[in-house]
C-alpha cells in the first residue's frame, strides 16, 4: 500500500497509508484462490466470509463485497486499518506457503472505503421486531460490535458512553494518522442506521447503576468498559512535570485536538527530547504523535529486544522510518528532575535476555553496574493499561479476578450476574480491536439466546 513519505508525514496528522486504488485491489484480489475451506476465515474472530468478499472484488461487485463483510463486521473501515491481520487471516492464508499471502486487510479497507463513498447502496436498516431493551456500557469496538449485532437481531439497543465521542480507544487512543476519526464516525452512523441509540457523557456507575438499568426495563446488559486506566512504573520522579501517561497524551491530542492548537484552545506542553517507555502500539503511537507535535528527538525505551515488542510489525516499521530511535534492552530506574519540578533526564539500566517467562517472551535481566543517563525533558509512560475502575467500584457484586479483569464464561461472555455479559479489554486486559469485537459478537449471540428463553 502506498504511504506518505516519512519526511513529509512527520509534519502532519493526515493518514499515512493511502489505501489501494481500484486497479491495485483488482490485481490483489485476482491472486486469491477462493479456497473452499478457507483458512483465513477460520482465523477471523468476527467470522467474515473472506473468500466470498475477495471474489466479489475480483468480479468488480464492490457492493456485494462490502455487504458480505458487513454481514459479520460492523466496523470494516476500522479493521481494514488497524487489525493485526498478520497474526490472524493473513497469517493463515494458504499463500504463505509461497511467501506472499493475500493482503486481506488492504482489500477490506478498499471495500469499506468504497462502501462509505456509496453508503446509500449498502446501508441496511434493521426492523425492530422484538421490542426488548438491551443496554451496552462503553462504545469501544466490543460495545459497538455487540450493539450492532443485537440491533440486527431486532432488539432495542442503547449504548451508554462516558466520553462525549463514541469509539473508545478508536477515538481517544489511536491517532488520526493511523485511523481517521471520520471513519469511526461514519461507522457509528451506520450503527445508528441500524437503530442503535448512543447516550454520551453518561458514566454508568455514577449517572446510573447497573441495578437501575434493570429497573428502567433493560432486560440484558453488556459491559464493554475497556482497559483505560494507565499503568505507571512506580519509580521516583513520575510525579514531575512533563511525565505523561500515553493515555493522557493521546486523549489530549486525539479527543481534545491539542495538535490543532490554537484552532482548539486545548494545547499540550511537551519538550524537545522525548523518552517513550514501552514497546506496544501505544508506545509507537505516542512517539509518532510527539514527533508530529514538534519534538526534535524521540526515543522508544524498551526493556526487551525489538523481536519481543508487542506492537504491530507494520507500525514498528513506520515508527523507525520516521526517525524515532529504538533504545532496546534498557529499563528506566528513575526520572531525574531539574530542581524546578520538570524532567531533566532518565536514569536507565541496560538489560539482557534470560529464559522465557509466562508470556513466552524472554525475561529481561538487569546488567549489573550498567546504569546510564538518557537526556530527555519529557517522559511518556506506555507500559500497559488496566480495566476502567469506575463501573467496577460501583458494582461490587460483579465478580472480578486478577488485575481487576471481569470474570466471564469464555463461550458466552456471561458474568456471575444473570443477564449481564462482558467483553473486550475489561475482561482480557489490553488486547486488540478484533479480539474485543469477537467477544462482542459472542455476547450478542448469547444475549439473544438468553432473552429468547426468557421472553
Ligand atoms: P475501549 O476501546 O477501551 O472502549 C471502552 C469504552 O468504554 C470507552 O469509550 C470508555 O470511555 C467507556 N467506558 C468506560 N467506563 C465506562 C462507564 N462506567 N460508563 C460508560 N462508559 C464507560 N488494537 C489493534 O488491534 N490494533 C491497533 O493498532 C491498536 N492500537 C492501539 C493503540 C493505542 C494507543 C491503544 C491504547 C490501544 C490500541 N489497540 C490496538 C488496542 C485496542 O484499541 C483495544 O484492545 C480495544 O479498543 C478494546 O476495545 P474495548 O471495546 O474493550 O474498550
Ligand atoms: Fe484467498 Fe488466502 Fe483466504 Fe485462500 S486462504 S481464500 S488464498 S485469502
Find the ligand nearest to 90 CA.
2
Q: Which of 165, 173, 244, 247 to mutate to test the pocket of ligand 1 (most atoms within 8 A of CB)?
A: 173
- Say whether both 354 and 414 belong to one domain: no
Q: Give the residue ranges of DSSP H helices in 301-349.
A: 313-321
Mean pLDDT for 31-58 is: 96
CATH number for the domain spanning 224: value is 3.50.50.60
Ligand 2: which residue has its CA nearest to atom 5?
93
Task: Give just the sign of the alpha carbon dihedral 191, 193, 196, 199.
Answer: positive
Split into its structural domains, the chain has a count of 3
Asked if residue 253 belongs to a domain, the reply is yes
pLDDT band at residue 454 using 50, 70 and 90 as cut-offs: confident
Q: Which of 225, 387, 442, 443 to mutate to test the pocket of ligand 1 (most atoms within 8 A of CB)?
A: 225
pLDDT of res. 154: 93
User: 168: phi > 0 → left, psi -120 to 50 → alpha, else beta; which?
Assistant: left
pLDDT of res. 128: 63
Find the ligand nearest to 44 CA.
2
Domain boundary among 381, 408, 431: 381
- Say whether both 310 and 371 belong to one domain: yes
Mean pLDDT for 8-13 is: 96
- Say whether both 433 and 329 belong to one domain: no
Tens of pLDDT, residue by residue over 148-195, are 999 999 999 999 999 999 999 999 999 999 999 999 999 999 999 999
Mean pLDDT for 47-60 is: 97
Cβ atoms of 103 and 14 within 8 Å: the answer is no
- Say whether both 236 and 339 belong to one domain: yes
Asked if residue 128 belongs to a domain, the reply is no
- Say whether both 116 and 175 belong to one domain: no
Domain boundary among 64, 86, 121: 121
From 67-76, 91-100, 116-125, 419-428, the region with the lowest mean pLDDT: 116-125
Cβ atoms of 368 and 278 within 8 Å: the answer is no
- Percent composition of the chain: helix, strand, coil (DSSP 3-state, to 5): 40, 20, 40
Taking the centre of ligand 1 as the mean of its atom positions, its distance from the CA of residue 333, in whole angstroms, is: 29
Tens of pLDDT, residue by residue over 276-328, are 999 999 999 999 999 999 999 999 999 999 999 999 999 999 999 999 999 99
- Say whether both 296 and 364 belong to one domain: yes
Percent with pLDDT over 70 in the chain: 98
Residue numbers of the domain that contains 65:
6-121
Per-residue pLDDT for 95 more than 70? Answer: yes
Report the mean per-residue pLDDT for the chain.
Answer: 95
pTM: 0.95
Per-residue pLDDT for 118 more than 90? Answer: no
Cβ atoms of 397 and 239 within 8 Å: the answer is no
pLDDT band at residue 125 using 50, 70 and 90 as cut-offs: low
Ligand 2: which residue has its CA nearest to atom 1?
32
| Of 179, 45, 46, 65, residue with least CA distance to 112 | 65
Asked if residue 1 belongs to a domain, the reply is no
- Say whether both 108 and 152 belong to one domain: no
Mean pLDDT for 360-382 is: 96
- Say whether both 187 and 260 belong to one domain: no
Ligand 2: which residue has its CA nearest to atom 4?
35
Amino acid at each position: 500500500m502506498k504511504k506518505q513519505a516519512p519526511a513529509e508525514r512527520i509534519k502532519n496528522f493526515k493518514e499515512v497509508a493511502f489505501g489501494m486504488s481500484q486497479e491495485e485491489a483488482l490485481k490483489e484480489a485476482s491472486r486469491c484462490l477462493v479456497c473452499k475451506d478457507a483458512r483465513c476465515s477460520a482465523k477471523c474472530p468476527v467470522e467474515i466470509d473472506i473468500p466470498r468478499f475477495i471474489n466479489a472484488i475480483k468480479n468488480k461487485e464492490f457492493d456485494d463485497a462490502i455487504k458480505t463483510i458487513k454481514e459479520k463486521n460492523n466496523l470494516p473501515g476500522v479493521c481494514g486499518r488497524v487489525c493485526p491481520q498478520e497474526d490472524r487471516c493473513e497469517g493463515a492464508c494458504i499463500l504463505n506457503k509461497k511467501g506472499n499471502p493475500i493482503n486481506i486487510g488492504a482489500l477490506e479497507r478498499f471495500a469499506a472505503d468504497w462502501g462509505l463513498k456509496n453508503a446509500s447502496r449498502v446501508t441496511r436498516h434493521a426492523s425492530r421486531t422484538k421490542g426488548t431493551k438491551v443496554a451496552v456500557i462503553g462504545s469501544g469496538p466490543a460495545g459497538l460490535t455487540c450493539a450492532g449485532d443485537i440491533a440486527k437481531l431486532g432488539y432495542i439497543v442503547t449504548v451508554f458512553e462516558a466520553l462525549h465521542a463514541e469509539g473508545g480507544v478508536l477515538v481517544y487512543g489511536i491517532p488520526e494518522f493511523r485511523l481517521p476519526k471520520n471513519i469511526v464516525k461514519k461507522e457509528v452512523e451506520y450503527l445508528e442506521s441500524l437503530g442503535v441509540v448512543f447516550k454520551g457523557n453518561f458514566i454508568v456507575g455514577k449517572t446510573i447503576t447497573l441495578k437501575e438499568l434493570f429497573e428502567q426495563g433493560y432486560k440484558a446488559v453488556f459491559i464493554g468498559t475497556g482497559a483505560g486506566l494507565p499503568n505507571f512504573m512506580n519509580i521516583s520522579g513520575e510525579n514531575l512535570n512533563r511525565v505523561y501517561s500515553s493515555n493522557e497524551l493521546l486523549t489530549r491530542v486525539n479527543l481534545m485536538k491539542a495538535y490543532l492548537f490554537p484552532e482548539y484552545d486545548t494545547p499540550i506542553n511537551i519538550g524537545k527530547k522525548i523518552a517513550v517507555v514501552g514497546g506496544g502500539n501505544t508506545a509507537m503511537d505516542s512517539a509518532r504523535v510527539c514527533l508530529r507535535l514538534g519534538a526534535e528527538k524521540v526515543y522508544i525505551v524498551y526493556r526487551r529486544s525489538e523481536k519481543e515488542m508487542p506492537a504491530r510489525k507494520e507500525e514498528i516499521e513506520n515508527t523507525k522510518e520516521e526517525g524515532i530511535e529504538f533504545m532496546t534492552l534498557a529499563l528506566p530506574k528513575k526520572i531525574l528532575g531539574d530542581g524546578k519540578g520538570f524532567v531533566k533526564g532518565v536514569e536507565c539500566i541496560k538489560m539482557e535476555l534470560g529464559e522465557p517467562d509466562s508470556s513466552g517472551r524472554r525475561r529481561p535481566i538487569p546488567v549489573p553496574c550498567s546504569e546510564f543517563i538518557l537526556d530527555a525533558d519529557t517522559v511518556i509512560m506506555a507500559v500497559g493499561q488496566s480495566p476502567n475502575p469506575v463501573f467496577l467500584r460501583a458494582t461490587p457484586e460483579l465478580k472480578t479476578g486478577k488485575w481487576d479483569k471481569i470474570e466471564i464464561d469464555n463461550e458466552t461472555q456471561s458474568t456471575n450476574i444473570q443477564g449481564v455479559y462482558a467483553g473486550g479489554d475489561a475482561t482480557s486486559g489490553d488486547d486488540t480491536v478484533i479480539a474485543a469485537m469477537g467477544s462482542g459478537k459472542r455476547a450478542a449471540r448469547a444475549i439473544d439466546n438468553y432473552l429468547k428463553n426468557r421472553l
